[in-house]
Amino acid sequence: MHDQDIQQALRHLRRADPVMRSVIRRAGPYTLQRRRNRFQALVFSILAQQISGKAAAAIRGRLLDYLKPQQLSPAAIAKLTLQELRSIGLSQQKASYVLDLGQRVTSGELHLAQISRMPDERVIEALTEVKGIGVWTAQMFLIFSLGRPDVFPHDDLGVRVAIRNLYGLDELPNKEVSHKIAASWRPYASVASWYCWRSLEFD
């Protein structure tokens, strides 16, 4: 998103939702940094599934070290075996997911260079065909790699906890409640979701 779009998004959210207006005031500027290396972003997302941030960072570091002097790329991953990935600390499942992603990109089945031309729903469809990439991972890719402005990851635990806290709910919101609250955020649900994550850092 360009500065002009961000300013427009913030104006809209402040006007449309008093709760979001308060979060924006406390959290400050919208500073999301896009992950330009799309393949790396997807590999790192797979590695991070169901483990702590610290454990994921350790495996990321080991994978990058193992590939040296090569960079993390589809071609470099496609040359690895399941056993090599297992030796770095990936589970059997994650190793097969990473290899599947590398194979699909190198074969041209998944065009990461052209994916930014697709609408959100098509991006999600294309990515979820890869083993180990679900809707949540695809939504994170839309927000953090492609910079799409109107993605609402209603299943994200952080977003649900933030909505419960900010809107004074007794329990974590279900899909219906989450979408009802997020309706006023459209067409800037990605920006509002980012502020939801930021709000978790408040005292």
- Catalytic residue numbers? 156
Q: Nearest-5° angle of CA 123, CA 44, CA 118?
A: 10
Instruction: State how far the Cα of 15 lies from the Cα of 174, in Å rounded to an integer.
Output: 25
Q: Which two tokens stand for residue 52?
A: 């702590």
Amino acid (1-letter code) at residue 54: K
Helical spans, DSSP H, in the chain: 3-16, 18-27, 38-48, 53-67, 74-78, 82-88, 92-106, 120-127, 135-144, 157-166, 175-182, 189-199
CB of 141 closer than 8 Å to CB of 127: yes
Cβ-based neighbours of 131, under 8 Å, separated by 6 or more: 96, 97, 100, 101
